[in-house]
Amino acid sequence: MPAANLFRPLPDARGGERFDDLLNRPGCRIERIVSHGQASPPGFWYAQDWDEWVLLLAGHALLRLDGEPAPRALAEGDHLLIPAGCRHRVEATAADRPTVWLAVHLDAPAPPAPAAS
């Protein structure tokens, strides 16, 4: 497997968030998310059946967890575990530069089996 770089090439996310799987194995999916001024749609909440650990690598963001009085301000290097079933949403991401996330989905559904030939 060749080496890769999380920041090169960095996709242009000004037209919409970019989600790229870096690794997908049974029970674990690692994803790079690139945002550029995006937020979750009004009234939309993520709610997953698996734990998700997120690390903010570049930029900044506001992340709201359901039941908390205010969104959490995340800066470069901040990380947190979002437990399975915890409703959450992105309130804002940096508009002046890309926001780069690393998301590790634990006990996520297995990748689809290859198609039979």
To which H or E segment does residue 30 belong? strand 28-35
Average pLDDT of the chain?
A: 93
Position 19 pLDDT exceeds 90? yes
Is residue 54 in a domain?
yes
Is residue 34 in a domain?
yes
Is residue 79 in a domain?
yes
Structural domain boundaries, residue 79: 30-106
pTM across the whole model: 0.87
The pLDDT assigned to 37 comes to 97
How does pLDDT run across 77-106, given as a tens digit for each residue?
999 999 999 999 999 999 999 999 999 999
Q: In angstroms, rounded to a whole number, what is the distance separating the alpha carbons of residues 71 and 102? A: 19
Helix (H, G, I), strand (E, B) or coil at 9: coil
The domain that holds 72 is classified in CATH as: 2.60.120.10
Is residue 12 in a domain?
no
Helix (H, G, I), strand (E, B) or coil at 45: coil
Contact indicator for 95, 36 with CB cutoff of 8 Å: yes
Is residue 90 in a domain?
yes
Count CA atoms within 13 Å of residue 64 on its CB side.
17
- Number of structural domains (the chain) is 1
The pLDDT assigned to 1 comes to 72
